[in-house]
């Protein structure tokens, strides 16, 4: 959404909810269609090309699939290149926002997904584990788009995404060990035995998150130094932005080519994976929005808090599931279902957020 359109909406001259779709670019507006097309193409390729799965699994280095790595890195880099790394202190000074975000993302979020996965998928351990991994992968990509459409605080969203990215590199492996091995044991539930060490999980996180994070930071720093911020924001970022979508679609094609048999053979399992995901989005967004209001945040930062808490980094979750359990695993399938549910769910929450915006008198954030 452009600054001009944001000003018009803020002035009340345009109906908020009616303008949402109009502010989406053509690529973003048709994202559900592109994802559905990528799914269909992947399923068709898996059926039409004999030995495709084996060929894809063979193209790997140190247990990491190169086609999947390529798709994920291309998808994440443009988003991280948009982050304003020079404004971290403008948000870290707001302790209400920062503390609330850290608690929601790193304590409540994983716990809520853990509970939903065990309650709704007690008999499907692979999918349950995949969803728990999703719950550990905090927001970093599409959440920036949802926040912007909802007229949230753009700079606060960028900073929270950057902080979550750094914290994710540090905490993801430890949280995975706790929620998959330690906590289930304390509760008398089945634990998950990992075929790789915690160090291997941390390596996957560093590759699929650390590499694009460093690349995004260096790109912004060098781009602004050489050509200036105006050129970087108005010329460079729009050119690389579509790469995120192509990376996402490429990854979905590959994954669905490998998961096609499981999807077509067990559609009920896919539906069951979708149920806890929908519940998770609603619980996290509504609870976070309420917390923001109770903390005295204005609408813009309350919306940012809600969307950054509800959004998940499915790219990272898929990468870790693949590296840990394999390309054709149920854990990877759970991650693949994630973005297919996230897109319509969070678009609906954008409409809800804008409806609430009309009833809230903004307070200084």
What integer pLDDT is reported at residue 228 of this predicted model? 94
Closest CA to 347 of 109, 60, 20, 112: 20
Q: Cβ contacts of residue 122 below 8 Å, gap of 6+? A: 128
Paired tokens of 77? 């880099």
Domains in the chain: boundaries = 62-356
Using an 8 Å Cβ cutoff, are 319 and 169 in contact? Answer: no
Q: How many whole angstroms separate alpha carbon 81 and alpha carbon 97? A: 23
What integer pLDDT is reported at residue 27 of this predicted model? 61
Using an 8 Å Cβ cutoff, are 288 and 309 in contact? Answer: yes
**Phi, then psi, of 65 in degrees rounded to 5:** -70, 125
Paired tokens of 119? 């309650």
The DSSP code for 210 is: I
Whether the pTM exceeds 0.85: the reply is no
Helix (H, G, I), strand (E, B) or coil at 121: coil
What integer pLDDT is reported at residue 219 of this predicted model? 95
| Residue found under tokens 């870290």 | 92
Closest CA to 274 of 138, 152, 122, 121: 121
Paired tokens of 5? 């359109």
Helix (H, G, I), strand (E, B) or coil at 47: helix
Q: How many whole angstroms separate alpha carbon 288 and alpha carbon 304? A: 9
Using an 8 Å Cβ cutoff, are 96 and 302 in contact? Answer: no
Helix (H, G, I), strand (E, B) or coil at 239: helix
The radius of gyration computed from the CA coordinates of the chain, to the nearest angstrom, equals: 20
Name the burial class of residue 238, with classes exposed (0-12), middle (13-18) and buried (19+) by CB atoms within 10 angstroms of its CB.
Answer: exposed
Using an 8 Å Cβ cutoff, are 82 and 90 in contact? Answer: no
Helix (H, G, I), strand (E, B) or coil at 241: coil
What integer pLDDT is reported at residue 43 of this predicted model? 80
Closest CA to 313 of 114, 77, 135: 135
For 114-271, list the strands marked E by DSSP: none
Helix (H, G, I), strand (E, B) or coil at 341: helix
Mean pLDDT by 10 residues, the chain (365 residues): 40 43 57 79 80 70 72 81 78 87 94 97 93 88 77 83 79 88 92 66 71 88 94 92 83 76 76 95 96 92 95 80 79 83 84 88 49
Paired tokens of 120? 């709704």
**Domain spanning 62-356, CATH class:** mainly alpha
What integer pLDDT is reported at residue 54 of this predicted model? 67
Q: How many helices (H) and strands (E) does the chain have?
A: 22, 2
**Phi, then psi, of 64 in degrees rounded to 5:** -110, 125
Residue 50's CB is within 10 A of a number of other CB atoms, namely 9
What integer pLDDT is reported at residue 318 of this predicted model? 79
């Amino acid at each position: 959404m452009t600054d001009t359109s944001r000003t018009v909406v803020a002035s009340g001259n345009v109906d908020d909810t009616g303008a949402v779709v109009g502010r989406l670019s053509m690529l973003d507006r048709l994202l559900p269609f592109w994802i559905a097309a990528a799914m269909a193409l992947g399923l068709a390729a898996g059926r039409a090309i004999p030995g495709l799965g084996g060929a894809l699994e063979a193209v790997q280095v140190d247990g990491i699939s190169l086609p999947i790595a390529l798709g994920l890195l291309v998808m994440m880099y443009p988003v991280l290149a948009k982050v304003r790394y020079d404004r971290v202190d403008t948000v870290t000074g707001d302790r209400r926002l920062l503390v609330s975000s850290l608690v929601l993302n790193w304590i409540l979020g994983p716990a809520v997904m853990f509970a939903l996965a065990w309650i709704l998928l007690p008999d499907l351990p692979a999918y349950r584990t995949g969803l728990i991994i999703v719950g550990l992968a905090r927001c970093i990509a599409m959440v920036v788009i949802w926040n912007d459409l909802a007229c949230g605080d753009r700079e606060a969203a960028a900073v929270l995404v950057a902080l979550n990215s750094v914290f994710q590199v540090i905490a993801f492996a430890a949280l995975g060990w706790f929620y998959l091995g330690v906590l289930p044991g304390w509760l008398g539930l089945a634990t998950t035995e990992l075929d790789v060490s915690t160090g291997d999980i941390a390596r996957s996180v560093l590759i699929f998150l650390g590499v694009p994070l460093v690349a995004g930071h260096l790109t912004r720093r060098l781009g602004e130094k050489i050509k200036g911020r105006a050129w970087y924001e108005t010329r460079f970022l729009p050119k690389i932005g579509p790469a995120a979508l192509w990376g996402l679609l490429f990854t979905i094609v590959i994954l669905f080519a490998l998961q096609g048999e499981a999807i077509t053979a067990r559609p009920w399992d896919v539906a069951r994976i979708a149920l806890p995901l929908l519940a998770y989005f609603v619980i996290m967004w509504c609870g976070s929005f309420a917390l923001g209001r109770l903390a005295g945040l204005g609408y813009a930062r309350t919306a940012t808090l809600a969307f950054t808490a509800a959004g998940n980094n499915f790219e990272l979750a898929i990468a870790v599931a693949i590296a840990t359990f394999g390309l054709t695993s149920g854990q990877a399938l759970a991650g693949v279902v994630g973005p297919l549910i996230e897109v319509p769910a969070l678009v609906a929450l954008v409409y809800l957020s804008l409806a609430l915006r009309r009833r809230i008198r903004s307070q200084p954030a």
